[in-house]
Amino acid sequence: MEGEQIILNDIERLKYEKLLKLQENGKDPFKIEKFDQTHHSKEIKDNFEDFDGKEVSVAGRMMSFRSFGKATFIDIQDKDGRIQSYVRKDQLGEELYKEFKEFDIGDIVGVTGIVFKTQKDEISIKASSIQLLSKSLRILPEKYHGLKDMDLRYRQRYVDLIVNPEVKEAFLTRNKAIKALRDFLEQREFIEVETPILNTIAGGAAARPFITHHNTLDIDMYLRIANELYLKRLIVGGFEKVYEMGRMFRNEGMDMKHNPEYTAMELYQAYADYEDIMKLTEEAVAYMAEAATGSTLIEYQGKQIDLKPPWRRLSMTDAIKQYANIDFDTIKTDEEAVELAKEHAVEIIPEMTRGHVISAIFEKYCEEKLIEPTFITHHPVEISPLSKRNPDDPRITNRFEAFVNTWEIANAFSELNDPIDQRARFMAQLRQRELGDEEAQMLDEDFLNAIEVGMPPTGGLGIGIDRVIMLLTNSASIRDVILFPTMKPMAKKMAENQDLSSQDDKSCNESITDLKKIDLSKVKVEPLFEDMVDFEKFSESDFRVVKVKNCEEVPKSNKLLKFTLDDGTEKDRIILSGIKNYYSAEELIGKTLLAITNLPERKIMGEPSQGMLLSAIYEYNGEEALNLIMLDRNIPAGAKIY
């Protein structure tokens, strides 16, 4: 197009030539504004007896083209599925049939005709007219190989939805579940509201915010990390049941459970406590499952999980006692707790208290055990700056987190409405920020003013919608349930059907990171080993090509990335590698790597690791440098290295 060079292969060039010819003949498909679509594929196929012999008009993308001279069969894909159309020269007329024969797979067409069954008993439409509604100028991935590159599928979701129709089912299920949640809350007289996305203070949660700038006001602003403080203001103002469902934004890591922007639902109910909210939570999630899947019994990655209430209740310290065999009833002081943390290799933070240690021990030893739906209650006050203290033990709060499949899917508490205590908690958070905790909360004077006006006893809840949808759709990654997940920008690529062999001589690292020329005088490598290794012993190591299906950060680790790999077998291989300081998890998805696959399985931070990925390590300018060994993407998974 004008001012821009478009790289085309032969087939795409032919598509453009066809479009130009149509435009020259006054038949530009892009000038068509409307097609009178009367029915969809599923409706016709499910009710054939009602449609047999009747005229219908359908529209959609042409997904196959099987020509037999004077007759052609095409498949049209609409929002509900596919239906076959039988196109005959004697029905259309010679001129229109000639035009039709120039259509391409991927074109959008409209067909009018009579519904019938072929000799092979396939419900079809005998076309009396056919119209090109939009010209496809790119090549769709072919039927049998489809669009398999996960990285490309997320970037080009529009193509993913076309060639992998099952993907759409996950988003239809998502729609049903969200609609069900709204229905559930409406039945209980909750009012849906909207609160600001742009905030002058990032509050309501412990998270690192995105920062932007308002030019007119000349102030920095934050994309909201939570809507909690605004919703509580509404409770102060006299609303008794409010909720909001929408996007939250957190400038943090990305992995299979985390996307920088995600959907959350927060609600607040006056005159309710965390016990009331606990009951509401389990009922809401079960209601969503029933509406979206037809059952509260779901299967997630080979595990059956029943979301039917009631869910198990377990305090945080009881969970630690059960799963880590540590009794915090016997640990009274902060000093004793910190010593315990050191014994269990828990990271020590400035001004660490008994409450911080309880939280860290729970995360390390207990979360991975919580497969069935479980409410973990009574969190330490140090990690719960907005929740009400337990009257019997002021060291803990009346708070719960809901866990399913080891994931936290909800967080709730009896809301703190004591403005004096709230100010003290905010000041403690400010001290944590001063000590370097970027996720500690900011001081919100207007919110303090609101609860000084007076807030009734209130129960609050936040549900991570995307994680619930992952469970309901059996999706391995959060990206599978977000239509357009956040991705690292890439330079323009040729279409996936083009020959990429001309790029094979480029470094694989150039595709994901900007390499700079290095000063070889600053490079230092380890001396070569002098001891020789017996060839037979060396040959026992099984070096295999592996493809990265997913990569995520290991929680609470500063170094580890967890790789889910295709090693050429039908079973996923998990390998942990300490390269987080050199690569982000997101940029490695879809890459082709080299691994040793016959090492004994070992656990690292509680995670099983089944082999080792190979990297090149050297010293540069006095610091360690590392390059993960990446291979040509055309080498198949499982290929053996000799």
Binding-site annotation, residues for Mg(2+): 401, 408
Q: Is the separation of the CB atoms in 129 and 92 below 8 Å?
A: yes
Nearest to 417 by CA among 459, 457, 381: 457
CA separation for the pair 337, 82 (Å, rounded): 63
Q: Is the separation of the CB atoms in 410 and 378 below 8 Å?
A: no
The total number of residues shown for the chain amounts to: 642
Numbered residues of the known binding site: 401, 408
Phi, psi at 641, each rounded to 5°: -95, 130
Contacting residues for 47 by C-beta, under 8 A, at least 6 apart? none
- The two tokens of residue 587 are 């940029």
Q: Is the separation of the CB atoms in 226 and 263 below 8 Å?
A: no
CA separation for the pair 622, 625 (Å, rounded): 9
Nearest to 153 by CA among 550, 466, 572: 550
b/e burial code for range 573-591 (CB count within 10 A of at least 16 → b)? bebbbbbbebbbbbbbbbb
Phi, psi at 636, each rounded to 5°: -75, 150
The DSSP-derived string for 226-271 is: --HHHHHHHHHHT-SEEEEEEEEE--S--BTTB-SEEEEEEEEEET
Q: In Å, how far are 346, 385, 481, 511 from 486, measured between CA atoms?
A: 31, 30, 12, 18
CA separation for the pair 398, 445 (Å, rounded): 24
CA separation for the pair 78, 108 (Å, rounded): 10
CA separation for the pair 315, 321 (Å, rounded): 10
Q: Is the separation of the CB atoms in 139 and 495 below 8 Å?
A: yes
DSSP 445: H
Q: Which amino acid is at 523?
A: V
| Sign of the CA dihedral running 170, 172, 178, 181 | negative
- The two tokens of residue 436 are 């370097």
Nearest to 393 by CA among 402, 406, 380, 384: 380
How many other CB atoms are found less than 10 A from the CB of residue 222? 20
